[in-house]
Amino acid sequence: MTSHDASELTADAVADYLRQHPEFFLSHTDVLADLSLPHDSGRAISLVERQVHLFREQRDTLRRELGELVSIARQNDRLFELSKRLLVKLLEADSLADIAAALDECMRHDFGLDATGLVLFSSRAALPQQGSLHFVTRQEADEVLGSLLVGDKALCGRFREPQLKLLFPTSEQIGSAAIIPLRYNDLLGALAVGSKKNDYFESGMGSLFLSYISDTLSRMLPPLLQVDAAETLAAAAGEAR
């Protein structure tokens, strides 16, 4: 290479050449030994030392990321086991009251939450509340919950007082909640879980386990709702006599 060529050589050209010829320093060890790079401490270090330093930083980063992945995997495994336990209890339920009791017990004791609300639609007169289960008309739900019932994904965060009162009529001081519509062919109601902590349910948090539970509930509820309606009508007829 002539001196004229060298004067026109740019840093980018050198970088491109080295990328295309990564074996360059294998046959030019004398050049490698002469290279030095500034360090955070202020002293110059060799390229080899710099590479070792970078490798160590990458190793530490990978260790942290691996630790985070292991922690997430453990949390997901625990969440899966708890969700499976709840789903088994729901499948064993014979009535709406059993479902409400299973939801309330598991959400409080297994998941450590402060409130559960199972809101179902009914066109009949006011029906008695059964634990976490209570009935409202579709019109009332639409007026209070509105867009929260649109779609089939859980919404997490802080909600207005009228919305919390409809979802958790017997619970107070709910700081944050997760709400998911119960939908199977038609909208049946909503499932809600709440915490007294304002930041427990954040707007961007994952809620995959709630989707599993709502999918199961949405398929179990229609026949149980029919049975409950028939029993209520039979009881009313008996009282009329």
For the segment 102-124, what is each residue's pLDDT rounded down to a tens digit?
Answer: 999 999 898 889 999 999 988 65
Q: What is the mean pLDDT of the chain?
A: 80
Q: Give a yes or no: residue 164 inside a domain.
A: yes
Whether the predicted model's global pTM rises above the 0.75 cut: no
Rounded distance between C-alpha atoms, residue 22 and residue 219, angstroms: 61
**Tens digit of pLDDT for each residue in 128-169?**
567 788 888 888 999 999 888 888 888 899 999 999 999 998
Confirm whether 15 is domain-assigned. Answer: no
Q: Find the CATH number of the domain harbouring 209.
A: 3.30.450.40
Q: Give the pLDDT confidence score for residue 179 in this predicted structure.
A: 93
Of the candidates 111, 118, 89, 76, the residue with the CA atom closest to the CA atom of residue 208? 76
What is the span of the domain harbouring residue 134? 94-240
- Structure confidence by residue, pLDDT tens digits, 8-40: 788 888 888 888 988 887 777 677 666 665 655
- Give domain status of residue 223, yes or no: yes
Element (H, E) at 232: helix 208-240
Tell me, yes or no, whether 73 lies in a domain: no
H helix or E strand, kind and range, residue 156: strand 155-157
Strands 36-38 and 44-46, by their bridges, are antiparallel
**The total number of structural domains that make up the chain:** 1
